[in-house]
Amino acid sequence: MPKEFFITTAIYYTNSSPHVGHAYEMVLADVIARYHRLKGEKVFFLTGVDQHGQKVQQSAAKAGVPPAEFVKEITQKWVDLGKKLDVKYDEWAETTSDRHKKVVRGILQRLFDEGQIYKDKQSGYYSVRQEQFLTDKERGPDGQFGPEWGEIEFREEENYYFKLSQHRDWLLEYLDNRADAVIPNFRQKELRNAVERISGDLCISRPKSRLDWGIELPFDKDFVTYVWFDALTNYISFAGYDPSLSTFNSQPSTFRDRWPALQIIGKDILVPAHGIYWLIMLHAIGFPDKQMPQLLVHGWWNLGGAKMSKSVGNIVDPFVLAEKYGSDALRYYLMRDITTGKDADFSEERVLSAHNDALANSLGNLLNRTLQMISRFCDGALHVNKTSKVFSDIQSKWVQWAPLITESYQSNVVDSGLTVLHIVAAFFNRLIEDKRPWDLAKASTTEAREELFDVLYVLAESLRIIAILISPVLPKAAHGTFDQLNWKMELSGKEERFSFGDAEWGRLPDGHLVGKPVPLFPRIEVDEGV
């Protein structure tokens, strides 16, 4: 078992700015990473940007700036997105960095020396405008290449190829022996079908005359490596992998302690990139089967059932949403309205409702009412009676609720845990209506006084536990709740403030003074919102 929990996202193309679908993937990884930190695990969360390639070279040319400059500007937007959404990663991958290039070259050289990479000639129809070879897939119904391809010529080109197909049987066997190589399971089946159809090898180079914005091949300076050996290698190059050491066991302990990773990717890059190329690349450089990463494949956010794309112009900007509704509300919406693995339709009205209904009215209101009552009826002090019925009733409720929430995080399906937390908040709002603490405060009997204390205590203590359990999704609100409860103030603002160890029922001590209520989610009026 690795000593660290290692989680990655895809790395993002730097030819355009992030949209809400990308934001979702980063937040999902962040939530899972925060959950593991909450369990007390050491976490290594890697995300970053994919800076080389044809698309970037073309976009930079269009913008009239050198690719390096272009990439720098777009990279900053991805960094800003992480900050804006409270995504707390441990390492940031940039594929133009020397550290990365060194690992890519080291791996390519080794595979070349071992005869796994060879040079070959390809000939076929080539689109000068699109700078790519065309296959029969690109032919129109009339059998011709359409005008979008511009001038077509017959070309011969030499390139380097990686012996992909010789690892096909290994990959089939690996997938058959490991049921959870890919989650959800239907994606593993989809991958297996694709593996059965592998026929050729993988072209891994482009002549510099065609593409020079890439990593030069160590054994031929006229070529750069094309896409996958560059991009996929980031998962190990930024984690401490040393390409000069050929066996897995000889790798530095920094790397061995964290590998293998849980890799979060979208459904579009499972086949062939991660499910075929990446697993085979790792196998080819000597990673044993038990060191294969697990692939967690998520679905896509669509808009009105259609794919979001820059060319269609239906991109939803996550910066605008975070500005309008706050990062917590956006994170909450992105985790609540999709089930990991499935697609969902984006709706700004539902972001607003996540903010106003689930957060302001339910959770925020519960905190506000509870603190107001403690301040008004008990001078801000808690009184605990651990032998009271209310105390033990609510304790046993938490014995049921807490595992439902943690199991949801543990299985990377966050929406079901949030549904439970929503029900819990509604339960306590109802408890307030049922117990009517304002009437108990007016009554002069000892029983009424005791019940008032008991009810206010379980409310405050439950809010403390809710804050811990929701902290992976709502880090700001969790801190806000702790601040207002006046709990763990010495760790204010720090993630270590939250831990499962601290989620034990009954930790708020007798006589504890809570703070002043401040609305966590000030309501957003509809006209201002959508």
Residue facing ligand MSP at closest CB distance:
266
Contact 524, 324 (CB under 8 A): yes
- Which is nearer to ligand MSP, 315 or 426 (by Cβ)? 315
In whole angstroms, the minimum distance from the beta carbon of 298 to ligand MSP comes to 6
In whole angstroms, the minimum distance from the beta carbon of 232 to ligand MSP comes to 5
CA neighbours within 13 Å on the CB side: how many for 425? 23
Ramachandran region, residue 129 (left: φ > 0; alpha: ψ -120 to 50; beta: rest):
alpha
Spatial distance between the Cα atoms of 232 and 209, rounded to a whole number of angstroms: 24
Number of other CB atoms surrounding residue 368 within 10 Å? 17
Entry field: residues in the chain: 530
- Which is nearer to ligand MSP, 25 or 216 (by Cβ)? 25
In whole angstroms, the minimum distance from the beta carbon of 413 to ligand MSP comes to 16
User: Concatenated DSSP letters for 320-378?
Assistant: HHHHHH-HHHHHHHHHHS--TTS-EE--HHHHHHIIIIIIIIIIIHHHHHHHHHHHHHH
Distances (CA, A) of 358 to 350, 426, 488: 10, 9, 26
In whole angstroms, the minimum distance from the beta carbon of 97 to ligand MSP comes to 15
Site residues (vs ligand MSP, CB under 6 A): 10-13, 21-22, 24-25, 50, 231-232, 234, 265-266, 268-269, 300-301, 308
- Which is nearer to ligand MSP, 85 or 265 (by Cβ)? 265
In whole angstroms, the minimum distance from the beta carbon of 87 to ligand MSP comes to 14
- Which is nearer to ligand MSP, 316 or 441 (by Cβ)? 316
In whole angstroms, the minimum distance from the beta carbon of 355 to ligand MSP comes to 21
- Which is nearer to ligand MSP, 15 or 127 (by Cβ)? 15
- Which is nearer to ligand MSP, 265 or 330 (by Cβ)? 265
- Which is nearer to ligand MSP, 273 or 404 (by Cβ)? 273
418: amino acid identity, one letter: L
Number of other CB atoms surrounding residue 200 within 10 Å? 8
- Which is nearer to ligand MSP, 194 or 448 (by Cβ)? 194
In whole angstroms, the minimum distance from the beta carbon of 239 to ligand MSP comes to 13
Paired residues of 12 in beta bridges: 49
Instruction: Give the sheet arrangement for strand 216-217, strand by strand.
Output: 205-207, 220-225, 216-217
Instruction: Give the sheet arrangement for strand 306-307, strand by strand.
Output: 306-307, 301-303, 344-345
Spatial distance between the Cα atoms of 198 and 275, rounded to a whole number of angstroms: 12
In whole angstroms, the minimum distance from the beta carbon of 435 to ligand MSP comes to 44
- Which is nearer to ligand MSP, 293 or 364 (by Cβ)? 293
In whole angstroms, the minimum distance from the beta carbon of 18 to ligand MSP comes to 8
In whole angstroms, the minimum distance from the beta carbon of 75 to ligand MSP comes to 12
Contact 232, 272 (CB under 8 A): no
Contact 35, 471 (CB under 8 A): no
147: amino acid identity, one letter: P
Paired residues of 153 in beta bridges: 126
- Which is nearer to ligand MSP, 334 or 460 (by Cβ)? 334
- Which is nearer to ligand MSP, 243 or 364 (by Cβ)? 243
Spatial distance between the Cα atoms of 437 and 96, rounded to a whole number of angstroms: 62
Number of other CB atoms surrounding residue 89 within 10 Å? 20
With 0-12 CB in 10 A as exposed, 13-18 as middle and 19+ as buried, what is 419? middle
Token representation of residue 119:
């040079």
- 3-state DSSP helix/strand/coil % of the chain, to nearest 5: 55, 15, 30
In whole angstroms, the minimum distance from the beta carbon of 11 to ligand MSP comes to 5
Handedness of CA 144, 149, 151, 153 (dihedral sign): negative
Q: Which residues contact 347 (CB under 8 A, 6 or more apart)?
A: 337
Spatial distance between the Cα atoms of 298 and 344, rounded to a whole number of angstroms: 11
Spatial distance between the Cα atoms of 71 and 97, rounded to a whole number of angstroms: 12
In whole angstroms, the minimum distance from the beta carbon of 343 to ligand MSP comes to 8
- Which is nearer to ligand MSP, 234 or 471 (by Cβ)? 234
